[in-house]
Structure 1
Amino acid sequence: MNFDTKPLSGKCVAVTRPREQSTEFVGLLNAMGAKTIEVPTIQFAPPTNRKALDDACNSANTFDWIVFTSTKGVEAFMERFIALENDIQSLKHIRFCAVGPATAAKLTDYQLSVSAVPKEHRSEAVAELLAEYVRGTRVLLPRADLAGTNLPDALRHAGADVHDVIAYRTIPVQSKRHDVHTMLIEKQIDVITFTSASTVRNFVAMMGGGSVTELVTHTLIAAIGPVTADAARSLGMNVAIVPKKHTVSALVEAIAAYFKITDPTYR
Structure 2
Amino acid sequence: MTGDRPRVAVFRPDDDRLAAARSLLDDLGAEAVADPMLAVEPTDATPRAADYVVFTSKTGAELVAAAGWEPGAATVVAIGPKTADALEAAGYAVDLVPEEFSSTGLVDLLADRAADATVEVARSDHGSPVLLDGLRAAGADVHETVLYRLVRPEGAGESAALAAAGALDAACFTSSLTVEHFLDAAAERGGRDAAVAGLNDAVVGVIGEPTCETAEARGIAVDVVASEATFEALARETVARLRADGG
TM range (shorter): 0.7 to 0.9
Which AA in structure 1 matches 2:199? V
* Match runs of 1:72-111 below 5 Å: 72-80=59-67, 82=68, 86=69, 88=70, 91=72, 93-111=73-91
Name the structure 1 match of 2:141.
161
Q: Aligned pair count?
A: 240
Q: 2:28 aligns with which of 21, 29, 32?
A: 32
From 174, 188, 206, the counterpart of 1:195: 174
Task: Give CA deviations for 1:157-199 in whole Å, capped at 9, x if unaligned.
Answer: 222222211100111223253x444422332110111111111
3-state SS in 2 of match to 1:133: coil
Q: Aligned pair 1:71/2:58, yes or no?
A: yes
Please list every run of at least 4 consecutive aligned residues from structure 1 whose deviation after the TM superposition is greater than 3 angstroms.
179-182, 209-213
Report the counterpart of residue 184 of structure 2 in structure 1.
205
Structure 1 gap segments, 5+ residues each: 1-7
Normalised by the length of structure 1, the TM-score is 0.81
Q: 1:217 to 1:136 in 2, by over 3 A?
A: closer
Q: Deviations over 1:121-167 (max 9, x none)?
A: 21122112201001222211111112243322321222222221110
- The aligned counterpart of 1:46 is 42
Q: TM-score, normalised by structure 2?
A: 0.87
Q: Give the CA RMSD over aligned residues.
A: 2.2
Per the alignment, in what secondary structure is the counterpart of residue 207 of structure 1?
helix
Q: 1: distance between equivalents of 2:9 and 2:126?
A: 24
Between 22-31 and 108-117, report the one with greater CA deviation. Answer: 108-117
Report SS of the residue matched to 2:199: coil
Letter in 1 for 2:86: K
Q: CA deviation at 1:9?
A: 4.6
DSSP-derived class of the 2:99 partner:
coil
Unaligned runs of 5+ in 2: none
Structure with higher Rg: it is: 1
Q: Distance in 2 between matches of 1:198 and 1:141?
A: 19
The match for 1:12 is: 7
* Corresponding residue for residue 255 of structure 1: 238
